[in-house]
A = this chain, B = another copy of it.
Amino acid sequence: MLHIIYLIAISAEAASGALMALRRKMDLFGVAVVGTATALGGGSIRDVLLGHYPLGWVQHPEYLLYTIVAAIAAALAARLLHRLKSAFLVLDALGLVAFSIIGCDIAASAGVHVSVVVLMGMITGIAGGLLRDILCNQVPLVLRRDLYATVSLLTGALYMGLLHFNVEQHIATLVALAVGFCFRLAAIYFVLALPVLETDEA
């Protein structure tokens, strides 16, 4: 099940990268590159930091195909997606939560400390979006808004906590997925955010 969610997640992330690339007037090639980097970048950065080789897409090049197709499809359907914005946010929320859980799984199998596991889950969840924003020359949104990264951290912490108390893996996955997903949707709906400290020097 997580595999199917993973495929939906990388497609949604690829689409989000493609739409931002489009706004930056990139050509179709740039759209494909930014889309692919957004979708696969988080996992790649996690694996490079862990020294966990080969990377996912090096071993499964078909992932590249999915993300390129999703990015180009999203670019071609850009006007339509405007209206589908809520569907898009839902997919993106699902992707964020799924990425976080998958990232925890891979980091846990590398045998690192649980705090690093949860952090690696978060890196998997948000680093793709970071890369997208750097490639498009923006201050990364994920560092500014909507409890995005907080949702990722809490999902990972919940998942690892459940496993720690010997909850069966399928159930832990489902619970973390559901709770994280609802939390993210609530954050969007109620426009929750962490406080921004005031500063004089802005």
Give me the interface of A with B, judged by CB distance under 8 Å: 21-31, 33-34, 44, 48-51, 53-55, 57-58, 61, 64-65, 75-76, 78-79, 82, 112-113, 115-116, 119, 130, 134-140, 143-145, 147, 149-150, 193-197, 199-202
Q: A33-B143, A50-B53, A134-B135 are in contact. List 12 more A-B contacts (CB 8 A).
A: A22-B197, A23-B199, A26-B196, A27-B194, A28-B194, A34-B143, A44-B49, A61-B115, A64-B119, A82-B200, A82-B201, A135-B139
B134 touches A134 (CB 8 A): yes
CA distance A116 to B60 in the complex (A): 9
- Chain B residue numbers with a CB within 8 Å of A22 are 197, 199
> For residue A146, which residue of chain B has the nearest CB?
B27
